[in-house]
Amino acid sequence: MRLATIRTATGHRAVRIDTGSATETGDADLRALLEHPDWAERAAAAAGPSHPLETLDYAPLVPAPEKIICVGQNYRDHVLEMGNELPDYPTVFAKYPPALVGAHDDIVLPKVSDKVDWEAELTVVIGGPVRHADAAAAEAAIAGYTVMNDVSVRDFQNRTKQFLQGKTFEHSTPLGPHLVTPDELPAGGLAIGTTLDGETVQSSSTDQLVFGPVELIVYLSQIVTLNPGDVIATGTPGGVGHACKPPRYLTDGTVVVTSVAGVGELRNTCRAEKR
């Protein structure tokens, strides 16, 4: 099953993605849907208003998650390209909801920086409360997967050892378009990548992950209770602009396509923040 949050004339709506159309579930957004313990059955049985797929205006998949947890230095190829050693524990930081934009919305390049980078990420959405999970409970807590571009303002990020200030600029982070339930995906690694104006800059596989989704949920649930609609971005592979020689960054007008095979594709145009 595939689910999404769309914008309509009367506000956000959670929808089930069907062949050629999207059917409203009766919930305000995906988080509201996932807060029902029987969310999967509710979504499968939904028979609300229908919208043609080609007309959908995607909101951020989860417009206002309780938590957006991001993991850095979690792909072997990216760790090595940045000159680091593989970590013993996940490197964890956060974003705030105002950073999020929809799958086809503009990425706002902040006026205070010209060092804005791209980061394709397989992203987990939590489907039920989980605390102190073992592997089985962690796997059961996964509602599904989506795509995030963890757009990073590198000069702000590197001002200190803490990443957050470079990671949560407003209107910078596309999330979506769909939540894809685990049964839709094949076993093994998924191709993940980014193009800029048609040029491939990231091309890897999720089998490069140091800590996989289940391991991350086990680890994070020791720290906090993970709740329905929480978002966990699992890290980016090699090919980021900051590691290029010379470094390369996003510019006004660049079209960025971020994809994970079988999960989805983000297509966003970069726009300079108005001064």
Three-state SS at 118? coil
**For residue 239, what pLDDT is reported?**
94
Query: For residues 17 and 180, is the Cβ–Cβ distance under 8 A?
Result: no
Supply φ then ψ for residue 27, to 5 degrees: -110, 150
**For residue 68, what pLDDT is reported?**
98
Question: What parts of the chain have a pLDDT lower than 70?
Answer: none
pTM over 0.75: yes
Question: Distance between CA atoms of 151 and 210, rounded to whole angstroms?
Answer: 21
**For residue 99, what pLDDT is reported?**
98
Question: Distance between CA atoms of 220 and 132, rounded to whole angstroms?
Answer: 8
Query: pLDDT tens across 14-36, in order?
Result: 999 999 999 999 999 999 999 99
Dihedral of the alpha carbons of 118, 122, 126, 131, in degrees to the nearest 10: -90
Which amino acid would we find at residue 178? H
CA 217 to mean position of chain CA atoms: 15
Residue owning tokens 């680890």: 219
Query: For residues 148 and 123, is the Cβ–Cβ distance under 8 A?
Result: yes
Three-state SS at 30? helix
Pairing type for strands 107-109 and 264-272 reads parallel
Query: pLDDT tens across 118-138, in order?
Result: 999 999 999 999 999 999 999
**For residue 78, what pLDDT is reported?**
82
225's tokens = 């209770």
Query: pLDDT tens across 187-218, in order?
Result: 889 999 999 999 999 999 999 999 999 999 99
Please return the burial class of 52, using the count of CB atoms within 10 Å of its CB with bins 0-12, 13-18 and 19+. exposed
Which amino acid would we find at residue 229? G
Query: For residues 29 and 63, is the Cβ–Cβ distance under 8 A?
Result: yes
Question: Distance between CA atoms of 195 and 185, rounded to whole angstroms?
Answer: 23
Residue-wise over 161-187: b if at least 16 C-beta within 10 A, else e?
eebeebbbbebbbbbbbbbbbeeebee
